[in-house]
């Protein structure tokens, strides 16, 4: 085993030395707050780092990276803590936590925004929506902008405005050698290509600069629910109906047991339901007109699709993915929703046991598919739909059964798997990472890794090993 992997203890003298050049908090196992700060969003991950470096700015990140290099520490990098497999915490070693770096600056005239690496999606939306502008990002507001962007970034307005990476103008980054760099189309374009989908493999991004797009602030959005028994008809209608819809419309199909959330009538709670959640990124009246056929199809048991502020819509799924519950995800892309796939969806939907297990079936396409496959490291632009199958429980109790359900659902879809989105992978091994990028892009990413991180210092991620 390498020295890096073994490094579990860190000597006090070197930490005292680090403290002289560090403005943020250094937290060690005996310190107050250690248990709070070692936690990540996925409660099934329980690791004990030797040191947590809570960075307040670029200088702290430089100091932390140089310290970790010198001490040969296993290094985890953390933005919003939402890595499904828990890559942002390690046993022994160091966590470089960007969480305190919350700076956001909107330039409404230039329609750009700069956001530091600790910003969460809801925080970014709050600032940009104050000007009726938005960066396309994900669907749960407590997710970190950093990890999400570096993997690609799918969300409610991507079909109209592209992925998060398609709106990225530049990054500031600290390399594995502890050097500061910028990357954009003009500066270090190879690195800029790599950070648009290649994850945290090439360095620690300290700040992102995005292009902004017009949005709302009022949008026509929300879920329409049907009883699961109606799912076969609803899904067939949905599949045909969305083919004629414009890029302004984005939908996610979800299946779960209805939970006791605001607006959900008590008699529905605990019942198996299927919902189509929509967001129309255009004038509210156009969205209302477009969504009428969906809202009146069959016998909806609940309709919460209505005009609302985009920031409110963005919170739709927040309560369903609380910090600390136990999460397991399996994901795949498929080309289309054929009858076989619909049958699988219906069958596994009926088998949901846990009140917090669910799936999200993402409609892809639109602006995402119009960017050339080789323009960014992100792959899977031609996917028709993305499955996100979440087998969840509130604690260890029942978790294994949920994992089994998720694996079985995913395996049943096996004949139809195409690509997979790297941010929806668990710890699944090199073949799956290669599959996420495709062989050609994977080789290009490896070459880039050799250039920017030849010792694989940044290895706690969906790792692209240099050799
Ligand atoms: C509830 C939930 C909802 C989600 N919804 C969406 C969605 O709508 N769309 C979507 O595209 N994805 C979504 N995801 C997946 C999400 O994009 C990834 O989990 C992402 O890694 C989260 O980023 P983070 O900063 O919160 O995570 P962290 O756990 O902090 O970081 C994850 C990894 O990203 C890398 N990383 C983080 N910060 C930096 C940095 N500053 N520099 C370099 N590398 C860094 C590291 O390798 C780290 O291990 C969701 C995940 C969850 C848990």
| Average pLDDT score over residue span 10-31 | 95
* CA 83 – ligand 1 centroid, Å: 5
Residue 63 has pLDDT above 80, yes or no: yes
Q: What is the pLDDT of residue 261?
A: 83
Average pLDDT over residues 250-277: 94
Residue 68, SS3? helix
Tell me how far the alpha carbon of residue 143 lies from the centroid of ligand 1, in angstroms: 7
Split at pLDDT 50, 70, 90, the class of 6 is: very low
The pLDDT tens digits for 353-369 are 999 999 999 999 999 99
Distance CA 34, CA 26 (A): 10
Instruction: Please tell me which residue, 261 or 393, carries the higher pLDDT value.
Output: 393
- How confident is residue 4, by pLDDT bands cut at 50, 70 and 90? very low
Give residue-wise pLDDT tens across range 407-423: 999 999 999 999 999 99
C-alpha of residue 166 to centroid of ligand 1, in Å: 17
**pTM for the whole structure:** 0.97
Nearest atom in ligand 1 to 321's CA: 1
Pocket test for ligand 1, best of 65, 144, 175 (most atoms within 8 A of CB): 144
What pLDDT score does 263 carry? 87
Phi-psi region of 329 (alpha: psi -120 to 50; beta: other; left: phi over 0): beta
Beta bridge partners of 221: 279, 306
414 CB neighbour count, 10 Å cutoff: 9
pLDDT band at 262 (very low <50, low <70, confident <90, very high): confident
Taking only the tens place, the pLDDT of each residue in 287-302 is 999 999 999 999 999 9
Residues 451-464 have a mean pLDDT of 98
What is the percentage of the chain residues whose pLDDT exceeds 90? 96
Output the average pLDDT for the chain. Answer: 96
Please say whether the beta carbons of 425 and 463 come within 8 A: no
**Region 417-433 average pLDDT:** 97
């Amino acid at each position: 085993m390498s020295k890096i992997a073994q490094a579990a203890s860190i000597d006090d003298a070197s930490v005292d030395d680090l403290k002289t050049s560090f403005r943020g908090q250094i937290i060690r196992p005996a310190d107050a707050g250690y248990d709070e700060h070692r936690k990540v969003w996925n409660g099934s991950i329980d690791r004990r780092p030797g040191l947590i470096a809570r960075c307040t700015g670029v200088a702290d990140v430089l100091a932390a990276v140089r310290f970790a290099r010198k001490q040969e520490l296993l290094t985890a990098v953390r933005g919003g803590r939402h890595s499904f497999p828990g890559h942002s915490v390690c046993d022994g070693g160091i966590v470089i936590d960007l969480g305190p770096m919350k700076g956001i600056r909107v330039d409404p005239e230039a329609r750009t925004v700069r956001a530091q690496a600790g910003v969460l999606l809801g925080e970014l939306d709050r600032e940009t929506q104050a000007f009726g502008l938005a960066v396309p990002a994900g669907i749960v507001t407590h997710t970190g902008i950093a990890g999400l962007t570096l993997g690609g970034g799918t969300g409610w307005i991507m079909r109209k405005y592209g992925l998060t990476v398609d709106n990225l103008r530049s990054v500031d980054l600290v390399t594995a050698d502890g050097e500061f760099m910028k990357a954009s189309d003009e500066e270090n374009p190879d690195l800029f290509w790599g950070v648009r989908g290649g994850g945290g493999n090439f360095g620690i991004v300290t700040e992102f600069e995005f292009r902004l797009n017009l949005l709302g602030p009022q949008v026509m959005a929300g879920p329409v629910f049907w009883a699961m028994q109606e799912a076969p008809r609803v899904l067939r209608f949905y599949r045909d109906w969305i083919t004629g819809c414009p890029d302004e419309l984005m939908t996610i199909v979800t299946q779960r047991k209805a939970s006791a959330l605001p607006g959900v009538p008590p008699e529905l709670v605990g019942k198996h339901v299927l919902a189509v959640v929509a967001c129309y990124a255009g004038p509210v009246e156009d969205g209302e007109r477009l969504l009428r056929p969906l809202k009146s199809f069959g016998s909806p048991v609940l309709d919460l699709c209505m005009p609302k502020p985009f920031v409110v819509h963005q919170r739709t799924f927040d309560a369903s993915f609380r910090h600390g519950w136990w999460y397991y995800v399996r994901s795949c892309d498929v080309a289309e929703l054929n009858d076989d796939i619909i049958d699988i969806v219906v069958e596994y939907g009926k088998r949901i046991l846990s009140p917090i297990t669910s799936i999200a079936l993402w409609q892809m396409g639109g602006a995402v598919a119009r960017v050339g496959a080789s323009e960014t490291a992100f792959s899977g632009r031609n996917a028709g739909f993305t499955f996100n199958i979440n087998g969840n429980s509130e604690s260890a109790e029942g978790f294994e059964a949920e994992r089994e359900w998720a694996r079985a659902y995913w395996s049943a879809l096996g004949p139809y798997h195409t690509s997979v989105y790297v941010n929806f992978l668990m710890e699944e091994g090199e073949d799956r990472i290669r599959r996420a990028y495709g062989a050609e892009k994977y080789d290009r990413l490896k070459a880039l890794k050799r250039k920017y991180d030849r010792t694989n210092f940044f290895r706690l991620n969906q790792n692209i090993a240099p050799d």
